[in-house]
Chains A and B, each alone.
Chain A
Amino acid sequence: MGATKLSGMQKQVLSLYRGFLRAARSKTTEDRRRIEMIVSTEFHKNSKEVDRKNFQYIEYLLRLGTKQLDQLKNPDMVSISSIKVVTSKT
């Protein structure tokens, strides 16, 4: 009741998010805090900015995220960052 059914893609995104938060647990407290901040900001930002019908782009982001998560799982990896290239529409 009230709980809206999630699409397969939404589930994938949430699963990826969970994966990131899980991977962050294995880092030191300080790194963890930072990783969680970055990941949370990134996911929330994309959830607002990306058109939910833009499946191709979401799939691309999912692939990108999965790759970054794999790298983050490496014990030597301490943080992640993302650079956004903004192209103006002119």
Chain B
Amino acid sequence: MASLSTTSLSFKAPSIQSTRISQVLRKASSFQSISFGRFHSSKSLRLQISCAAKPETVQKVSDIVKEQLALSADTALTAESKFSALGADSLDTVEIVMALEEKFNISVEESDAQNITTIQEAADLIEDLVQKKPATSEAS
């Protein structure tokens, strides 16, 4: 934008024109901000779609997390609840993942297990693995 205004000066454009240019520039910048906003919302929308684990799975995961961390039954857990915020350290997280493995009869890769920090992430990974499982058992 700075280079554009310099060009208008070298052309010795009348003041009216320069204001017009600046107006255009302003319009352009405001348009940019609008498109930015749109981009953000579409991004979050896409994220929501890809993260849509079934509510039952999220509920099952929350129950196991509660059990593992010895939280009272009325503790409010949301899908975005972070394990660390619930007082879990990395060892507790390992325990949670192991309990989830048993419950859903799946096997979580170590590298994946270490990336799980929220109930939502756990639920997504589980759905992913449950879906993949029939294919792998057929192949073996």
Contacts and interface: CB of A to CB of B under 8 A. Distances in A.
Contacts of B117: 2-3
Interface string B74-95: 0000000010100001110011
A40 B93 CA distance: 12
Interface in A5-62: 6, 10-11, 14-15, 17-18, 21-22, 25, 40, 43-44, 47
A40 to B, nearest CB: 7
Contact of B94 (A2, A3, A18, A25): A18
Interface residues of A, number: 16
Contacts of A43: 91
B114 A18 contact: no
B52 interface: no
Interface of A: 2-3, 6, 10-11, 14-15, 17-18, 21-22, 25, 40, 43-44, 47
B91 A17 contact: yes
A2 B81 CA distance: 12
A72 B82 CA distance: 33
